[in-house]
Amino acid sequence: MVDEPMLARLHFGREDAERDVTDGHGLLLRGGFLPTAAYKAAVLGRKMLIIGRKGAGKSAICMQLMAIGDGDAGKVLVTPDETAGEEIRRFELQGLQGDSAKALIWRYVFAVHAARYLVAHAKDVHGRRTDSVKVLLKFLKQNGELAGDRLGDRLAQGAKGLQTSLSLEAFGVKAGIDFSQAPSEGARAVRQLEVVERGVERGFTELGCGDTHEPLLLLVDQLEQVWSAEPDSNSMVIGLLLAAKHAAGRYGRAARILLFLRADIYDSLAFGEGDKFHGDELRITWTREALGDLALARARASAGQQLTAGRLWQDVFPRTVGGEETPTYIFSRCLPRPRDAIQFLNLCQETAYLKHDRDRITEADVIEAEAQFSAWKLKDLSLEYLVAHPFLKVLFPLFQNQGYVVSRAALDVRFTAAVDSLRGLFPAYADALTLAGVIDVLHSVGFLGVRRGHDVVFAWDDDLLVQPHETEFHIHPCFRTALGATNAIDLRRYEPAVVRDRLVQGTVFNNTFALRSITNRDERLLGELARSCQSVLSQVGRAVALTPGARDEITREIGRVHTETVVSARLPVDADERLLSASHYFTSLSAQLTASGLVDGAQDVAHRLEEEARRLRRLAGGSYGSSGDSGGL
């Protein structure tokens, strides 16, 4: 509707690409897709493996590729369901290792898809079926591969044929006779498959495919739906990689293979030929700037192309949230992937428009949405890695209601108290449930970043694993609200006595009376307290290695002590009691900093706090002359 407010039209699309293509609110094919480096590499055919975390946009690239391109080129999307996955996992051939056997079944899948494509493509595009294509048509009919689209059914048929004998009469081969002397079941299957692949290769060659039009594109996605971190599942994925490389070499420019793999699955694989795939890899990475570009593209696709970045981030959203520019605030609290950003942005819109009936998003709406979003993401993280790290969820309580900066020493104390229970719940993972093992896991999944110099580095920022000498870790901002870890360190808040409570009930003192009521000694004592605050603040300022969040919190709390002291100088207060109260608070902060396990800068501040606490206690107790700090009091 023309009069409908922009916020009502604004939508950032669905978080899963499959629905975003088909749903009425889908934006992927309506200008809401951002061509990334991974997408460009896939289009140009430079890479075969597109790797990314869950929600990083692998399926979005896949769907976009399926929707565009040369009309003469074919596209086949292979997405295994549980039936298909089970067929591949249990496929075995005597005489072949598991990975090699799984590679054969995948090669068969590619060959059959290519043959089916050629049969239709030859007639529809080239206007004729060559002799080799007619042979492929006959082969497909004889093996029941011409009709039906269920991958599981075709895999069952192909597995049976490879384990016994395929019908290869169309190629002039009597498999039962010609391969009877094969030394093993695996050798016989290899020979049969080579006959089929040569037939497909001839079909491409006779039609000139790859020279006259874009190649056939075979895409494999959603493999995580059938992966289980078991040896057979890993063999299934390794077999797919081997088969894809083989098919790419066999069919040349006539066919291309693109595999979309989740990063945690790919990184868990270990096989001898793994180093041969590095040149084929492309990992999807997202910066905050790229997420902002994606948000604007999707906002325009829903609300109108006239929407500018300025209007989006200044008129629709608030300019700032918590003192930060809104895009910085939002995207720093997402893991660097589109799914998180889309969910957070949509939640902001729904909170403002649907829940509070506003025509623009306020700072309060963003903060309210963040609470829900953070809870979602904490739960999602444990589910994302449920297969590989089923114990992940029970580690989160170690970080609840604590500071988001945690030292190795402090985590060691918490972990030691819980380790027996953890190992009792997950006995199969007892070897991994060590302090070092837990830190590695939490870093690898993006829950913890590691302090390196003045930066906090997360797993996607640097391939370097956590080193034994590294001692300071930060919870990712995405999870802090859900954990109640919104401050850098869990410092006790300074709670000075309310000045009015110090006054005689029912009596009002004006400033003149207050000033007259303060003795010379009270004034000097409060001055010494202000001096102690300034000394601590100076030490904090010199502690350049202290993590910024902790520095800000210490500065804020000591600043409150200083402000309260300045105010107290104008009112009748018990200066001795005020010094003792501040001294006790300084000692408490010192103990908290020491217990935090933070090393760089924190211990220097802790020492200064303790020194000033002792000095204030001496002053309040009437110690004269011994230290030179009393000023003759």
Identify the DSSP state of 92: -
Q: Which amino acid is at 269?
A: L
- Distance (Å, rounded) from C-alpha 584 to C-alpha 610? 9
Tell me phi and psi for residue 219, to 5 degrees: -115, 135
Residue 555 forms part of a structural domain? yes
Is the same domain home to 451 and 532?
A: no
Q: pLDDT by residue (tens digit) across 132-150?
A: 999 999 999 888 887 766 7
Q: pLDDT by residue (tens digit) across 108-130?
A: 989 999 999 999 888 888 778 88
Question: What's residue 185's pLDDT?
Answer: 81
- Distance (Å, rounded) from C-alpha 373 to C-alpha 382? 15
Which domain-ending residue is among 254, 283, 312?
283
The pLDDT-based confidence of 436 (bands split at 50, 70, 90) is very high
The pLDDT-based confidence of 246 (bands split at 50, 70, 90) is very high
pTM: 0.80
Question: What's residue 503's pLDDT?
Answer: 35
Is the same domain home to 144 and 246?
A: yes
| Number of structural domains the chain divides into | 4
Q: pLDDT by residue (tens digit) across 580-600?
A: 888 989 998 898 888 887 777
What share of the chain in percent tops pLDDT 70? Answer: 88
Residue 263 forms part of a structural domain? yes
Residue 399 forms part of a structural domain? yes
Residue 146 forms part of a structural domain? yes
- Distance (Å, rounded) from C-alpha 417 to C-alpha 436? 15
Q: pLDDT by residue (tens digit) across 93-105?
A: 888 888 888 899 8
Question: What's residue 629's pLDDT?
Answer: 46
Question: What's residue 458's pLDDT?
Answer: 94
- Residue 241, pLDDT > 90, answer yes
Contact by Cβ (8 Å): 44, 201: no
Average pLDDT over residues 354-380: 96
Mean pLDDT across the chain, nearest whole number?
84
Question: Which of 203-212, 270-279, 339-348 is most confident?
Answer: 339-348
Is the same domain home to 380 and 434?
A: no
Q: pLDDT by residue (tens digit) across 513-524?
A: 344 444 678 888
Q: When comparing pLDDT for 254 and 155, which is higher?
A: 254
Helix (H) or strand (E) holding 455: strand 455-457
Contact by Cβ (8 Å): 97, 182: no
Is the same domain home to 67 and 94?
A: yes
Contact by Cβ (8 Å): 227, 233: yes
Taken in order 422, 427, 432, 435, the sign of the CA dihedral is positive
Q: When comparing pLDDT for 133 and 500, which is higher?
A: 133
Angle at 296 between CA 290 and CA 300, to 5 degrees: 150
- Residue 527, pLDDT > 50, answer yes
Which domain-ending residue is among 384, 406, 436?
384
Residue 511 forms part of a structural domain? yes
Is the same domain home to 368 and 477?
A: no
Average pLDDT over residues 56-84: 79
Which domain-ending residue is among 335, 350, 384?
384
Is the same domain home to 351 and 448?
A: no
Residue 493 forms part of a structural domain? no
- Distance (Å, rounded) from C-alpha 236 to C-alpha 230? 10
- Residue 254, pLDDT > 80, answer yes
Question: Which of 55-64, 289-298, 613-622 is most confident?
Answer: 289-298
- Residue 15, pLDDT > 80, answer no
Question: What's residue 90's pLDDT?
Answer: 82
For residue 480, CA distances in Å to 54, 376, 378, 402 come to 21, 12, 9, 10
CATH number, domain of 613, equals: 1.20.120
Q: When comparing pLDDT for 188 and 492, which is higher?
A: 188
Q: Map residue 572 onto helix, strand or coil.
A: coil
CATH number, domain of 334, equals: 1.10.8
- Distance (Å, rounded) from C-alpha 380 to C-alpha 394? 14
Average pLDDT over residues 423-446: 94
Residue 31 forms part of a structural domain? no
CB-side exposure of 622: number of CA atoms within 13 Å? 0
- Of residues 198, 264, 216, the one with CA closest to residue 237: 264
Q: Tokens 């081997």 identify what position?
A: 242
The pLDDT-based confidence of 292 (bands split at 50, 70, 90) is very high
Which residues, 6 or more positions from 291, have their beta carbon under 8 angstroms from its beta carbon? Answer: 331, 334, 336, 338, 341
Question: What's residue 364's pLDDT?
Answer: 97
Average pLDDT over residues 196-218: 87
Average pLDDT over residues 307-331: 95
What share of the chain in percent tops pLDDT 90? Answer: 41
- Strands (DSSP E) contained in 179-253 are 216-220
- Residue 463, pLDDT > 90, answer no
- Distance (Å, rounded) from C-alpha 602 to C-alpha 551? 9
Is the same domain home to 534 and 579?
A: yes
Radius of gyration of the chain from Cα atoms? Answer: 33
Q: pLDDT by residue (tens digit) across 467-497?
A: 999 999 999 999 999 999 999 887 777 766 5
For residue 372, CA distances in Å to 368, 482, 604 come to 7, 8, 39
Residue 629 forms part of a structural domain? no
Is the same domain home to 250 and 303?
A: no
- Of residues 191, 197, 159, the one with CA closest to residue 175: 191
Is the same domain home to 469 and 360?
A: no
Is the same domain home to 361 and 507?
A: no
Question: What's residue 348's pLDDT?
Answer: 97
210: tokens are: 């790859």
Helix (H) or strand (E) holding 413: helix 408-425
Question: What's residue 315's pLDDT?
Answer: 93
What range does the domain containing 553 cover?
Answer: 499-620
Is the same domain home to 188 and 226?
A: yes
- Residue 210, pLDDT > 80, answer no
Is the same domain home to 228 and 81?
A: yes
Question: What's residue 632's pLDDT?
Answer: 35
